């Protein structure tokens, strides 16, 4: 069963076509890789899925329902969330506050419940704090709880951003270059983390990445984009053997990492 479908989706900026007539399906519970040279339209696809950009033509289906045209927060509430290439944390808040904020959909109470601090407020807040605590433990962040997000090392900021995304219980998680700026050791840990997340949270993932080791290591299916067009699609092995892909992106001699 497909969780996400792109049907002939096109996005134009003025006269420039950033994504042209792209078609693909993402199977539920799979990890889908999105690769291609810089400017190929990978992040644009994420922006289209999350509603930050509006689709020029075509439609995007999530669990069989059309989502293009919805506001970003509505799409998020349906169960799609993401991380950003240039990390967008709540910089001045602590790790704990970052995750707690993102847990807002886990508890439900009104403004007046908050002002009166009644039983409902207390009960729902407890649920949100518990959820935050659990996430901190799973993501290995619990002993850094009170550190301000902006003061974290780069790799940990990326980890926190993933944790924050998971706080809203997504069905589909989009990771935009999660390994960018990481050393090989950290990249290896990230791969373990992605496998771990898949097992623990039963979430489908789409990953944009330039580290081929990571893409080939975690993805069930990979799509290659070039100049906003789909160049190829298939398993890791099929992609590595595809002539067009080697020519346009991977390089003749050997893949770069």
Partner 1 sequence: MAGFMQQIINGLSIGSVYALMAVGYSLVYSIMNFSNFAHGGVIMIGAYIGFFLLAAYKMPFYVAFALAGAGAGLLALIIERVAYSPLRKRKAPFLYFIISAMGASIFLENIVIATIGPTFKTYPKVFSTQPITVGSLSVGRLDLIMFVISAISLAILIFVIEKTKIGMAIRGTAYSVRASALMGVNTDHVIMIVFGLGGLLGGIAGMLFGMKYTVYPQIGFITIKSFIAAVFGGLGSLPGAVIGSVLLGIIETLTSGYLSSQFRDLIAFALLIVVLIVRPMGLMGKFTEDKA
Partner 2 sequence: MDWFYIQGILILAGINLLAVLGLSLLTGFTGLFSFGHAGFMAIGAYTTAIMSVKLHLPFIPSLMIGGLIAALVSLLIGKLTLNLKGDYFCIATLGLGEAIRLILDNVQYLGGARGWPGIPLKTTLLNVVIIDIIGIIILVNLIRSKHGRNMIAIREEEMASQIIGINVFRYKMISLMISAIYAGVAGGMLGHYLGFLQPKMFQIVKSTELTIIVIFGGLGSISGSVLGALVLTSLPEMLRTFAQWRLVVYGIAVIFIMISRPQGLMGGHEFSFHAVKKIISSMFYRKKQRGLGGR
Per CB under 8 A, residues contacting partner 1 are 13, 43, 46-47, 52-53, 84
Report d(CA 84, CA 47) in Å as an integer: 10
Rule CB under 8 A: say whether 130 interacts with partner 2: no
Shortest distance in whole angstroms from residue 213 CB to partner 1: 26
Axis-axis angle for helices 119-138, 154-166 (nearest 10) = 130
Residues shown for the chain: 257
Stretch that binds partner 2, among 35-43, 131-139, 140-148, 217-225 (CB under 8 A): 140-148
Residue 146 contact, options partner 1, partner 2, none, Cβ 5-8 Å cut-off depending on partner type: partner 2
Return the residue of 100, 193, 215, 231 that touches partner 2, per CB under 8 A: 100
Position 40 contacts partner 2 (CB under 8 A): no
Interacting positions 185-204 with partner 2 (CB under 8 A): none
Please select the residue that binds partner 2; options are 114, 137, 153, 251, rule is CB under 8 A.
114
Residue 122 interacts, among partner 2, partner 1, none and using kind-specific CB cut-offs from 5 to 8 Å, with none
Applying CB under 8 A, which residues contact partner 2?
Answer: 50, 52, 71-73, 76-77, 81-82, 84, 88-94, 97, 100-105, 107, 109, 111, 114-117, 121, 124-125, 128, 146-148, 151, 164-165, 167-168
């Amino acid at each position: 069963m497909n969780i996400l479908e792109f049907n002939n989706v096109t996005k134009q900026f003025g006269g420039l076509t950033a994504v042209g007539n792209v078609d693909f399906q993402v199977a539920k519970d799979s990890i889908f890789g999105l690769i291609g040279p810089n400017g190929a339209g990978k992040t644009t696809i994420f922006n289209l899925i999350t509603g930050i950009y509006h689709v020029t033509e075509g439609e995007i289906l999530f669990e069989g329902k059309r989502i293009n045209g919805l506001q970003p927060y509505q799409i998020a509430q349906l169960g799609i969330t993401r991380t950003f290439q240039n990390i967008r944390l709540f910089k001045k808040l602590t790790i704990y506050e970052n995750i707690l904020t993102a847990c807002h959909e886990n508890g439900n109470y009104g403004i007046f419940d908050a002002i009166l601090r009644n039983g409902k407020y207390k009960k729902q807040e407890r649920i949100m704090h518990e959820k935050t605590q659990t996430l901190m433990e799973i993501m290995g962040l619990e002993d850094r709880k009170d550190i301000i997000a902006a003061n974290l090392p780069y790799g940990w900021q990326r980890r926190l951003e993933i944790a924050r995304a998971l706080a809203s219980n997504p069905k589909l998680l989009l990771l935009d270059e999660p390994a960018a700026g990481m050393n090989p050791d950290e990249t290896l840990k990230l791969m373990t983390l992605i496998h771990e997340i898949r097992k623990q949270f039963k979430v489908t993932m789409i990953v944009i990445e330039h580290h081929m080791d990571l893409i080939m290591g975690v993805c069930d299916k990979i799509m290659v984009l070039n100049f906003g067009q789909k160049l190829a699609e298939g398993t890791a092995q099929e992609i590595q053997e595809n002539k067009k892909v080697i020519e346009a992106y991977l390089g003749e001699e050997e893949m770069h990492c």
